[in-house]
Every structure is written in structure tokens, then in C-alpha cells.
Copies of this chain bind each other. A is one copy, B any other.
Amino acid sequence: MKNTFGSSVAVTIFGESHGAAVGAVLDGMAPGVAVDEGFIARQLELRRPFGAISTARREPDAFEIVSGVFEGKTTGTPLCILIRNTDANSAAYDRDLARPGHADYTARAKYHGFADYRGGGHFSGRVTAALVAVGAIALTALRGREIAVGTHIARCGGIADRGFADMDADIAVLAEKHFAVLDDARGEAMRAAIEAAAAEGDSVGGVLETAVTGLPTGVGEPWFDTLEGQLAHILFSIPAVKGVEFGDGFAMADLCGSACNDALCVENGIVRTASNHNGGINGGISNGMPLLLRCAVKPTPSIHKPQETVNLTTGERVELELGGRHDPAIVHRARAVVDSAVALTLCDALALRFGTDYLAGK
């Protein structure tokens, strides 16, 4: 479905980096969910570039709710949010020069040169602002059921954050942080690594780790709409994500079954597992334990070092030196996008399982 994702709760996105606006339509969200414009603004702020570790393009991200909200609450009908572009500068972009690591060449192959090439057009990470805006409403809806979502920068520039410990507390702390790490000292080291890369005209990547607490058991499908499959489907849309894993993920490949199985037990009458190597999902379905997933974020492809490329019209070899304003890292900004993508997907899975009123407000 291209720019629409989800079945019972679905999001449709539109817009280009240097066009009039980016936006999203959130459809199927339950009625009566409180729409807190301050919280939407806060989530957009978490995605917004800041300081020396981000691009100098500074969009205010003023948003307009065009439909779907009445008297401060969701109506249950499509909610459209529009975010105008105001600080676009197209001078640095050349229609014919494909930037390595970007979608410029594949966009040309698919759209035959009609796509808006400026700033990556519809391929730009700018579009994720719209996802974050509607994702804020999804996060609010989940909170109404005491489901919490939080993401931290598990790795960046070769430096590892500590892992989740007291998950609900950690998620609460992360919600307050612009640079989402659980250990601030390591966060400082990460920022230094980003700045060092920036100083060389280079960029760094990282890993984002997301936890979800409070998700009921029995959500998801054995085939093909496993929770893992649905979440990975949307997460790979986030520009620069090149890997997704759940629970212990790739690390399980080198372990024995006896080290990966989660023993079952009963706590306060509820079935739990003693460990959580499977990240809260068995057979594609939530088991009541916290969901745990990680996304690999490749280093931003926009770097200032000279790179080999070709002129897409003439086929000539070109040595490209990118001007413009670019992020030396996006992993810290992508974190708000991951939270939103996860929240939207869970809203859909919950509505499919328990009906469209499950997340409804009072």
C-alpha cells in the first residue's frame, strides 16, 4: 500500500522536503482520545535538529490539525496533520548528481525524473515529522491503556549505552530527554563522537533500542502478520534503518537453545517468563512480557567528504562535494520516529484484536 500502513488503524503520509508541507492522515484511531497539542509539539521537538550534532536547517514544525479532532478529542474519523516547510534551501541540490547512499538514483529509475529531487523530495527524513505528529496521538491512546513506549540510543559512534533496567522508570526518564540515553556520561561520549565525525565532514550511525511495557497477551498473528513482521515492515521505512531485531536478535544465532528459551512461571496469577530473550513475542504473538526491539541506523549518507558518483543524464563520472546543511548523525533524531512507528503499529494490532473501541477515550 505504498504510503499507507496499517489495517484497522492506518497512517498515510505525504509531502516533500522542499515542497509546501509534509503531512499525515491517521485513520481508524478510536474516538475520544485526548489530543494534546503541547505533547505533539514536544514529540516534534525531540525529532528536531539541535546543537552542533545536527543540520543547521531549523524548521519550527508548526503543525495544523486539519481534520479529525473535535472539542479537543479524536472523532474516530480521519485526522490529518499538516506541517509546513519554511526553511528549505534548494540551491545545494543538483537534479543530475546522484548522492551515494541516497535514493537519488533509485528515485530516477522509478519515477523517470519527474520526482522532486530537492532535498531528497519524498524520500527525505523530513517526512518523518508527519509520522511523529500522528504518532504522538497513538502514544497518547496507548497510555490510556497503560501501555508505554520508549527508545534509547543503545549505540552511537561505537559507544554503548547501558541497557534497560527498570523499564517503566527508564521509559519515563527517556521521555524527558532530547538526547535519549540511559547513562548520561555515555551520552556525552556519543555526542563527542558525532562532533568529531562532523569535524571531518563525516557521519556516524547507531542502534536504537525500544521497549514497550503493558502490552496485553494474545496480540499479533502466527503468519504473516506476526508482531515482528508488522513492526519491521514500518521500521524499515524509516530512512537509514538497515536492520531490525527482537529480543536477543542476532546474538541468539550463536547461543544454545537452553540459553535462549524463556522459562515460564506464574506471578500473582499471571503467566510470565523468568527471562525475556524472545523480546515479549512467541510465535508472532505478544506474551505479556515487555516488547524489546532494536533498529540498526546507518550513518547519514550526506557527508562533506569528496565522493565518486555519476551524472544521471550524461553518465559522466563526477567527483561530488556536497554543500548544504546535513546531519552528522540522525540516530538521536530517529528515536522519536521509532517510538511513533511502534505506537502506530501497536494501535493497529490492538484494534484488530480487541475492536475499534479498545483505545477509545471517555
Contact = CB atoms under 8 A, between A and B. Distances in A.
A339 interface: no
Contact of A250 (B2, B207, B286): B207
Contact of A283 (B1, B19, B106): B106
Contact of A106 (B27, B217, B237): B217
Given A156-B253, A261-B301, A265-B310, 8 more contacts: A3-B224, A100-B261, A100-B262, A229-B235, A242-B245, A245-B250, A259-B299, A260-B301
Contacts of A7: 1, 7-8
A44 B241 CA distance: 34
Contacts of A57: none
A271 B310 CA distance: 8
A65 B74 CA distance: 25
Given A207-B253, A255-B299, A271-B310, A246 B243 contact: yes
A254 B151 CA distance: 18
A2 B221 contact: yes
B253 A317 contact: no
Nearest to A355: B355
B229 A78 contact: no
Contact of A254 (B205, B225, B233): B205
A207 B255 CA distance: 11
Contacts of A312: 271
Interface stretch (A116-124, A166-174, A177-185): A116-124
Contacts of A358: 355
B250 A243 contact: yes
B80 A14 contact: yes
Contacts of A58: none
B107 A285 contact: yes
Contact of A264 (B105, B204, B255, B281): B105
Nearest to A157: B254
B261 A297 contact: no
A303 B111 contact: no
A32 interface: yes
A211 B235 CA distance: 22
B75 A257 contact: no
A77 B237 contact: no
A253 B106 contact: no
Given A102-B283, A205-B252, A253-B207, A67 B21 contact: yes
A76 B244 contact: no
Given A243-B244, A261-B100, A12 B27 contact: yes
A165 interface: no
A230 interface: yes
Contact of A303 (B261, B278, B302): B261
A256 B303 CA distance: 9
Contacts of A258: 202-203, 303, 305, 307
Interface string A340-360: 000000000000111111101
A110 B80 contact: no
Contacts of A353: 355-356
A323 interface: no
Interface in A101-117: 101-103, 105-107, 109-112, 114-116
